[in-house]
A and B are shown apart, each in its own frame.
Chain A
Amino acid sequence: MNKKLKKSIEYFFLILLACIFIFPMLWMIVSSMKPEAEIYLDMGGIQSLLPSLDVSQWFLTYKELFSRFNVPQYVINSIIYALVITVGSIMVNAMAGFAFAKFEFRGKKLLFGVLLVLLIVPVETIIITQFTVAHTLGILNTRLAVVLPMMGNMFFIYLFRNFFRAVPHEIIESVKLDGANNWTVFWKVVLPMSKPAVATVGTLSFIASWNDYLWPLMVLTDTDKFPLQVAITNINTTEPVYTNQVMAILTISTIPLILVYIFAQKYILQGLGGSGTGIK
């Protein structure tokens, strides 16, 4: 009896906590699936956590949103930025990691030391001079300006280097004896043998670039180049503002991340050593 009661209390507590963590996202999704007036009808009642009872209303908000804003363009922009940054970041940092792991070259120790020092530079504080650099290069308001600064990453170089060091020298030597050059060794041998590192860097860069807000907000002025995150605040401040439409764009921007978290969950935790976005 006592044990049963204890168990019930425990479950009650666990479910209450689950509600606290889930209800905002639930409210976001259901509010995008009902007319504006219904959202504010019976706020706080059970109705506020249910979509419209009339199923034909469910996707009407999305239709209205798409007619006011070029949402497919924002989605495509976000996908392009995230994919280019992800592939670029894997390539650029893996190549550098390969140099540090498998070559003896002049200045190696010094350069590696400099990279480790760069790890402590808080990137968010130098946004102003990053902006003046982009201004000087004449790439403001271009897609290039969004993606280029996001690719080089010391933490990822470090991660790749550690992974590549585990690839046995004998394998590399034997491939080289067969006439392969350094690029073939990197592309055909070392990189395929380090799939977990590639997956980790890929997952983390995709999430970081998908969520990036401040930098694209600063460098872009044309709305048709906006990624979703910037489009969100744009939609949220363009009169007339409709709550259900704002919730719809929030939902749209979240769906790809849900997929990433489901399919790449085992790589997410590797990111703790890196500088996470926000306060993760």
Chain B
Amino acid sequence: MNTKKRENLAAYLFLAPALLLLGTFLVIPALMAIYYAFTDYYLLTPDQRQFIGLQNFIEIFKDPIFIQSLKNIVLFVVFVIPIQVGAALGLALLINKPRKGNIFFKVAYFSPVVLSLVVISVLWLYLLNPSEGLINSLLTNIGLEAQPFLSSPKQAMLTIVFVSAWQGAGYQMLIFLAGLQNIPASVYEAGKIDGVNKWQNFIHITLPLLKPTSVLIMITTLISAFKLIIQPMVMTQGGPMNSTITPVYYIYQSGFSDRMIGYASAMTVIFGVIIGIITLVQSRLTKEDEM
């Protein structure tokens, strides 16, 4: 065997486990989803699977629950991004200033990050209980009206927005903090000589220099926000009145609970394409930023 062949063989031996696992649990499922999307595959009767062309896709866009899930996820994304990223930036600016006890504040703001999504969902379910939860007790104690939160179609998704932002902000705060600490002090000193005030400092120096960090954070948050499932699954089961059902959750319900693999696969394709496009746009944006 010549050295070239040997090198090929060695390389593929090192690659084998990863290729096998990624092939089995990522590539094949992705290709299968594309194929099944054009069939009426029902898990319990695999033999009667038939090719039905675009019928699934036509039905999906007439499916009120799917349309509702798209509306819900857009609502979630539109609120959670500014709230979570804004909170993260605000917290980072607050603790970027040297002061006594800063470590305590940093740990405190970060602490929800260590809770898993299942834990925060169950925990807030109890805290937000309309009749005997801690939050409503606090609200009535200070003279405000008790709120229905998760049991109201109007408030449920916004409540999930709040809980998600509360959990995730601390992590992004640390990333912003790293970004802030990368800004050289000399930049601010130059500003000082020119006599700029604090607000101008923030708008004209801090914010532009934080732009790469902000873009990265916003886009990663955007992509994972689109895939929301665990919080509504645990907290509301998509209700009340489908007000918190999300596309990934609906895919799960149709494919796993109702066993309509074909229909779920078609939704996977549609939603996968949407997320894929966003991700591609992201890599373009971040690349431009680096240049």
Interface residues of A (CB under 8 A from B): 11, 13-14, 17-18, 20-22, 24-25, 27-28, 40, 43-45, 48, 91-93, 95-96, 98-99, 103-106, 108, 111, 115, 118-133, 137, 148-149, 151-152, 154, 157, 182, 186, 210-211, 213-214, 218, 229, 232-233, 236, 243, 246-247, 250, 253-254, 257-258, 261, 268-269, 272-273, 275-280
Q: Main SS of the interface on chain B?
A: helix
Contact partner, A269, options B29, B175, B230, B251, Cβ 8 Å: B175
Q: Which residues of the other chain, A, contact B61 by a CB distance below 8 angstroms?
A: none
The winner among A24, A127, A210 for most chain B CB atoms within 10 A is A24
Q: How far is the CA of A230 from the CA of B43 in the complex (A)?
A: 24
| Interface contact A128-B251, CB-CB below 8 Å | yes
Q: How far is the CA of A125 from the CA of B122 in the complex (A)?
A: 23
Q: Which residues of the other chain, A, contact B126 by a CB distance below 8 angstroms?
A: 243, 246-247
Q: Which residues of the other chain, B, contact A213 by a CB distance below 8 angstroms?
A: 116-118, 230
| Interface contact A40-B132, CB-CB below 8 Å | yes
| Interface contact A233-B26, CB-CB below 8 Å | no
Q: Which residues of the other chain, A, contact B247 by a CB distance below 8 angstroms?
A: 125
Interface residues of B (CB under 8 A from A): 7-8, 10-12, 14-15, 17-19, 21-22, 24-30, 32-33, 36, 43, 80, 84, 91, 94-95, 101, 104-105, 108-109, 111-120, 122-124, 126-127, 132-134, 137-138, 140-141, 164, 166-168, 170-172, 174-175, 178, 216-217, 220-221, 223-230, 233-234, 247-248, 251-252, 255-256, 261, 264-265, 268, 271-272, 275-276, 279-280
Q: Which residues of the other chain, B, contact A246 by a CB distance below 8 angstroms?
A: 122, 126
Contact partner, A96, options B7, B10, B15, B95, Cβ 8 Å: B15
Q: How far is the CA of A218 from the CA of B256 in the complex (A)?
A: 8
Q: Which residues of the other chain, A, contact B227 by a CB distance below 8 angstroms?
A: 122, 124-125
Q: Which residues of the other chain, A, contact B8 by a CB distance below 8 angstroms?
A: 105-106
> 5 closest A-B pairs (Cβ-Cβ)?
A44-B137, A128-B255, A152-B21, A96-B18, A105-B11
| Interface contact B119-A254, CB-CB below 8 Å | yes
Q: How far is the CA of A236 from the CA of B122 in the complex (A)?
A: 8
**How far, in Å, is B228 (CB) from chain A's closest CB?**
7
**How far, in Å, is A201 (CB) from chain B's closest CB?**
13
| Interface contact A214-B234, CB-CB below 8 Å | no
| Interface contact A152-B116, CB-CB below 8 Å | no
Q: How far is the CA of A13 from the CA of B217 in the complex (A)?
A: 25
| Interface contact A276-B230, CB-CB below 8 Å | no
Supplied contacts A131-B255, A272-B216, 10 more A-B pairs, CB within 8 Å = A17-B91, A18-B104, A44-B140, A120-B275, A125-B271, A127-B256, A131-B256, A214-B229, A254-B114, A257-B114
| Interface contact A103-B113, CB-CB below 8 Å | no
| Interface contact A43-B118, CB-CB below 8 Å | no
| Interface contact A43-B25, CB-CB below 8 Å | no
Q: Who on chain B is nearest to A18 by CB?
A: B108
Return 19 A-B CB contacts under 8 Å, by A number. A14-B94, A14-B101, A20-B166, A22-B111, A24-B120, A25-B111, A25-B112, A92-B21, A104-B7, A123-B26, A125-B248, A125-B268, A125-B272, A213-B116, A213-B118, A275-B223, A278-B230, A280-B171, A280-B172
